[in-house]
Amino acid sequence: MGHELLPFKDKAAAQEFMEDHHGKSIIGFQEVTPAMIEALDKRE
């Protein structure tokens, strides 16, 4: 899998997934910017 944004029902589910898959952060829908989405394709 590459870098992507994943939706979750609640913060607890997001936290569990992040810990299990070595995620880096949890952000809310309102915090997502077009620049973030564009940057996902440029990460390795």
- Give the residue ranges of the chain where pLDDT is below 50: none
**Tell me, what's the pLDDT at 40?**
85
- Residue 7 region by backbone torsions, left for phi larger than 0, else alpha for psi between -120 and 50, else beta: beta
**Tell me, what's the pLDDT at 3?**
79
Q: CB–CB of 3/42 below 8 Å?
A: no
**Tell me, what's the pLDDT at 11?**
95
**Tell me, what's the pLDDT at 10?**
96
**Tell me, what's the pLDDT at 19?**
94
**Tell me, what's the pLDDT at 2?**
66
Q: What is the rounded CA–CA span in Å between residue 34 and residue 21?
A: 24
